[in-house]
Chains A and B, each alone.
Chain A
Amino acid sequence: MSGWDKFVETFFNAKVMVKYLPDILSGVVVTIELALLIVVTGLGAGLAFALLRSLAIRPLNWLIIFVVDLFRSLPPLVIIVLMYFGLPYAGPAPSGFVSTWLSLAFVLMAFSEEIFWAGITSIPKGQWEASRSTGLTFGQTLFNVVLPQAFRLTIPPLTNRTIAITKGTALGTVVAVTEILGQASSAMSNSYNPSPLMMGAAAYVVLFLPVVVAARWVETKFAWKR
């Protein structure tokens, strides 16, 4: 047996792959569910906080900045572990799935708030003044003039962050979430063969590559003619 054949036999073992394909696929479903929940709630909360911050209420802004900086500096794994193993002492006992979802949503909220906020503040003051001088309210100006321009600027950094954080769903393995990596590593120990891990890696690529491509498409769609 040549070196190459041994490599394929070990990492891309067809028999092992067929056997564990259903497990990996069920992991894919869990990862998609988790990722969608994290993206929707994390970006939604991040935008909501950025909008609240634009109201310029000082004590509220201090609170927002504190929460955002806290969740940006804590490692996501620590938040997941604290929520899953620590929170039950205080009463609520979220499942591994819920712990992973909420922890990563908080992290995405914190990063996306900063990105949305940077987008909002990068819009020149003259845009606000022109709009307000024609009688549009603060809110109308924010939604019709400022946010459409800010969103366009935020799409590239937002996509990067979103992908980085949703890939963190793999951290759910430590609290027994049966997502892709969790399924792959238990299949790996059951089969004494790393092929399931290769399937898991392939699943991540298949899942996230379209997201990157979609982000590029959105970027070109939002770009206005210069």
Chain B
Amino acid sequence: MTSHIVDARAIHKHFGTLHVLKGVDLKVDERELVFVIGPSGSGKSTLLRCLNRLEEPSSGSIMVDGIDMLDPRTNINHARRRIGMVFQSFNLYPHMTALGNVMLALRKVAGKSRGEAESLAHAALKRVGLADRADHTPGQLSGGQQQRVAIARSIALEPRVMLFDEPTSALDPELVGSVLEVMRDLRESGMTMIVVSHEMGFARNAADRVVFMDDGLIVEQGPPGAIFENPAHERTRAFIGQIQRH
């Protein structure tokens, strides 16, 4: 047993002939917020998706909250309950209301009664500031509201870790703030979070650690101040320079 809540070692991932992850180690402490940055194609989303096995790593080991994620005997569905995930494209269920979206896993996975699931779902929607939108379908909500419902869908299951895969990249600029605000609240409540994103301002203010990935490897990592102001590697410097110019 390690003291890290996430402990991924020597993760390799091949897509056919493409070597996307080339031996990545990532350890995350409880209550830590780790920001993963890097150019597109650097493997950051793939790494995130390996952690809950939406993507099957080619080799390596992954422990999350003491569970060996790659052990064939592990019940992956039980393990995933402890790992929330938020996607770039929200992926809300369009045929259900916001409340229905949050309730589904509470009913089917956590085995809650209808009444219990409903009150937990209402509480989760309230946490993301959408108590009054429970009966709306995704099509009736703005992008920012949809992403907050998606966050509520995850946190309602009381995960031990939350994975964010570019949660604000599909949003209009004026809607980004509301999602980041919810993420900040989550962080303050002590949630362990791994965030793939280009929101550098948010990283600077909220992240404990920034990890820079390029070409399937972690190039360097450290506190946001150090990575943004004084990167050790040329590749990091070039990437940060590019991001900040825009």
Complex formed: what's the CA distance from A135 to B53 in Å?
Answer: 11
The segment from A1-9, A37-45, A62-70, A141-149 found at the interface with B is A141-149
The segment from B2-10, B104-112, B222-230 found at the interface with A is B104-112
* 10 tightest Cβ-Cβ pairs between the two chains A and B: A130-B91, A134-B105, A126-B91, A135-B109, A133-B85, A135-B81, A226-B139, A135-B80, A135-B77, A225-B137
Contact between B95 and A134 (Cβ–Cβ < 8 Å)?
no
Q: Any chain B CB within 8 A of the CB of A72?
A: no
Contact between A136 and B87 (Cβ–Cβ < 8 Å)?
no
Say whether, besides A135-B77, A144-B108, A130 and B150 are in contact (CB < 8 Å).
Answer: yes
Interface residues of A in 132-160 (CB under 8 A from B): 132-137, 140, 144-145, 148-149, 152
Q: Any chain A CB within 8 A of the CB of B44?
A: no
Q: Any chain B CB within 8 A of the CB of A224?
A: yes
Q: Which residues of the partner chain A approach B77 to less than 8 Å between Cβ atoms? A: 132, 135-137
Complex formed: what's the CA distance from A135 to B157 in Å?
Answer: 10
Q: How large is the interface on B (under 10, 10 to 19, 20 to 34, 35 or more residues)?
A: 20 to 34
Q: Any chain B CB within 8 A of the CB of A129?
A: yes
Q: Any chain B CB within 8 A of the CB of A127?
A: yes
Complex formed: what's the CA distance from A224 to B101 in Å?
Answer: 14
Contact between B78 and A135 (Cβ–Cβ < 8 Å)?
yes
Contact between A134 and B153 (Cβ–Cβ < 8 Å)?
yes
Q: How far is the CB of A146 from chain B (nearest CB, A)?
A: 10
Q: Which residues of the partner chain B approach A136 to less than 8 Å between Cβ atoms? A: 77, 104-105, 108-109
Point out residues on B near A: beta carbons under 8 Å: 52, 54, 77-78, 80-81, 83-85, 87, 89, 91-95, 104-105, 108-109, 137, 139-140, 150, 153-154, 157
Contact between A224 and B157 (Cβ–Cβ < 8 Å)?
no
Contact between A127 and B91 (Cβ–Cβ < 8 Å)?
yes
Q: Which residues of the partner chain A approach B84 to less than 8 Å between Cβ atoms? A: 133-134
Q: Which residues of the partner chain A approach B150 to less than 8 Å between Cβ atoms? A: 130
Q: Which residues of the partner chain A approach B93 to less than 8 Å between Cβ atoms? A: 127, 130-131, 145, 149
Say whether, besides A133-B54, A136-B104, A225 and B91 are in contact (CB < 8 Å).
Answer: no
New A-B pairs, 7, CB < 8 Å, besides A133-B85, A135-B77, A145-B93: A130-B85, A130-B92, A133-B154, A135-B105, A149-B94, A152-B95, A225-B137
Complex formed: what's the CA distance from A12 to B93 in Å?
Answer: 55
Interface of A is mostly: helix
Q: How far is the CB of A153 from chain B (nearest CB, A)?
A: 11
Q: How large is the interface on A (under 10, 10 to 19, 20 to 34, 35 or more residues)?
A: 20 to 34
With most chain B CB atoms within 10 A of its CB, the pick from A127, A133, A137, A148 is: A133
Which residue of chain A has its CB nearest to the CB of B49?
A129
8 A/B residue pairs, CB under 8 Å, sorted by A: A129-B91, A131-B105, A133-B84, A134-B80, A135-B80, A136-B108, A144-B108, A224-B139
Contact between A129 and B87 (Cβ–Cβ < 8 Å)?
yes
Q: Which residues of the partner chain B approach A148 to less than 8 Å between Cβ atoms? A: 95
Say whether, besides A135-B80, A152-B95, A126 and B105 are in contact (CB < 8 Å).
Answer: no
Which residue of chain B has its CB nearest to the CB of A140?
B108
Contact between B140 and A225 (Cβ–Cβ < 8 Å)?
yes
Which residue of chain A has its CB nearest to the CB of B100?
A144
Which residue of chain A has its CB nearest to the CB of B79?
A135
Which residue of chain B has its CB nearest to the CB of A223?
B95
Say whether, besides A136-B108, A149-B94, A130 and B81 are in contact (CB < 8 Å).
Answer: no
Which residue of chain B has its CB nearest to the CB of A225?
B137
B157: which of A129, A134, A140 is its contact (CB, 8 Å)? A134
Complex formed: what's the CA distance from A135 to B83 in Å?
Answer: 9
Complex formed: what's the CA distance from A126 to B91 in Å?
Answer: 6
Interface residues of A in 143-186 (CB under 8 A from B): 144-145, 148-149, 152
Complex formed: what's the CA distance from A132 to B78 in Å?
Answer: 11
Contact between A132 and B108 (Cβ–Cβ < 8 Å)?
no
Q: How far is the CB of B124 from chain A (nearest CB, A)?
A: 12
Q: Which residues of the partner chain B approach A226 to less than 8 Å between Cβ atoms? A: 137, 139-140
